[in-house]
Every structure is written in C-alpha cells, then in structure tokens.
Amino acid sequence: MNKMTTRARPLRADAVRNREKILAAAATVFARRGLDATLDEVALEAGVGVGTVYRRFPDKDTLIGALFENAVDEIATIALSAYEAENSWDGLVWFLSEALQRQCVNRGLREIVIGAPYARERMESVKCRIAPAITQLIERAQRDGFLRDDVVSADFAILEMMISSLGCMTEEFSPDLWRRYLTIVLDGLVVKREHPTSLEQPLDESVAEEALRLKSRHVLRVH
C-alpha cells in the first residue's frame, strides 16, 4: 500500500517543486512571525500564488500540522534522552536548554507547544509523550536532592512558557538573551547554593535599551 493507492497520478514535476518551495517558505515565515502569519505571506516568500498554496494544502491547519509534527516529536525525543544523562540535574538543565532553544528560534513552534489554536488534534498525541517524560526527569532530580521538592511538572510548563515568550520577543536583537533568565530561574529551582551561577549571556547597555523598547510591541492576546 503506497502513495499511488490514494492518488491516481503522481504530482507533476513543477507541482512537486512548488510543494517543496511552499514548505520551506512556510517554515521560514512561521518561525519568524508565528502562526498568525497569513498564507499570502507564505506564498510571497515561496514565490508562488496563494492559489497554489491552497491547491497543495487545503487549509492553514493542514500546512501547520505537516510542518510542526516533526519538530514537536523532536522535543519529546529530547525529553527521553535527557533521562539517559548520568547526572539528573544536568539532564534536566540540558532538556530545558534544548527545548527552549528550539522554541525561542521558532515562534511557530513555541505557539504549537503552548497549545495555540492550530492543528490541535494532530499535535495532541505527540505532546502526550512529552508530559510523562518531563515528570520523570523532575522526580529523579528531586530524589537526587538537586531540585527543590515543592515544584511539579506543571510548574515547568509554566516556567518554560514564561522564558520562551521572552525568548521570542528578544530573538531578533539578542537571540540568546533568554539563557540569562533560564540561569536565574534554575538558580531558584536548585535546593541550595553557595554562589550565583554565572550568567553567560550578557545584557549590555544597547541590548537593555532595545529590550525595554521592543517589549512594548508585544501584547498578550486572548482568543
């Protein structure tokens, strides 16, 4: 049972090329502008007409689903691999860094992860693999005496959302600034410590200025 079963004839060569161009363009556009970007923008970026986009993907949901299933799955895989680390705290930190890295670089992915109203059902199953993996990471780090005992997995979902929202805001002028706040939060999550963990990512004058100016352009919208 192959693709031929569902499609009498294969796509024409130019159609295949355009399909690739559309997917690539959509990846770029949704990463940069989030899931609110229009398919007109995707078409423009791909160098094709909107009609062509809608011929290949019946609606926005389908395109978004096709685009992000892998990326979400990758995060699940990272959560599972993190459990392999011999040090449970390092594993937890590694997972957070890797997951946040991907979300901060890609606004569309971030919105899918926090549950934006696109391709919901399609993502549901993939996301179901993530939650238990994180719970295990957390509980092991608590048993080992690294992570404070009074936090649960929902706390991590919330902290991740907070940090990734910041990451997406500051991505254009200081793409790693979010790491600074991840470090501070981690210093708040550890059971005890003698010194602050050094903040690798600096916040120099010009970046600070831009951060204060640019955050004003970002507003929370409720659907």
- Kindly list the residues in this chain that would bind DNA in the complex (CB under 7 A): 8-9, 11-15, 17-18, 36, 38-40, 47-52, 54-56, 58-60
Phi, psi of 131 (to 5 degrees): -55, -50
Closest of 82, 191, 170 to residue 130, by C-alpha: 82
- Confirm or reject binding of residue 103 to its own copies (CB under 8 A): no
The least distance separating DNA from the CB of residue 170, rounded to whole angstroms, comes to: 22
- Distance separating alpha carbons of residues 130 and 67, to the nearest angstrom: 18
The SS3 of residue 213 is: helix
Measured from the CB atom, is 105 or 114 closer to its own copies?
Answer: 114
- Confirm or reject binding of residue 220 to its own copies (CB under 8 A): yes
Which one of its own copies, DNA, none is in contact with 12 (Cβ closer than 5 to 8 A by kind)? Answer: DNA
Compose the 175-214 pattern: x for residues touching its own copies by CB under 8 A, - for all others.
-----xx-xxxxxxx-xxxxxx-xx---x----xx-xxx-
Measured from the CB atom, is 20 or 209 closer to its own copies?
Answer: 209
Measured from the CB atom, is 51 or 196 closer to DNA?
Answer: 51
Q: 153 burial class (0-12, 13-18, 19+ CB within 10 angstroms)?
A: middle
Which one of its own copies, DNA, none is in contact with 1 (Cβ closer than 5 to 8 A by kind)? Answer: none
The SS3 of residue 196 is: coil
Which one of DNA, its own copies, none is in contact with 3 (Cβ closer than 5 to 8 A by kind)? Answer: none
Strand partners, 190: 147
Task: Candidates 15, 16, 128, 152: give the one binding its own copies (CB under 8 A).
Answer: 152
The CA-atom distances, in angstroms, between 133 and each of 76, 83, 92, 102, 161 are 8, 8, 11, 18, 17
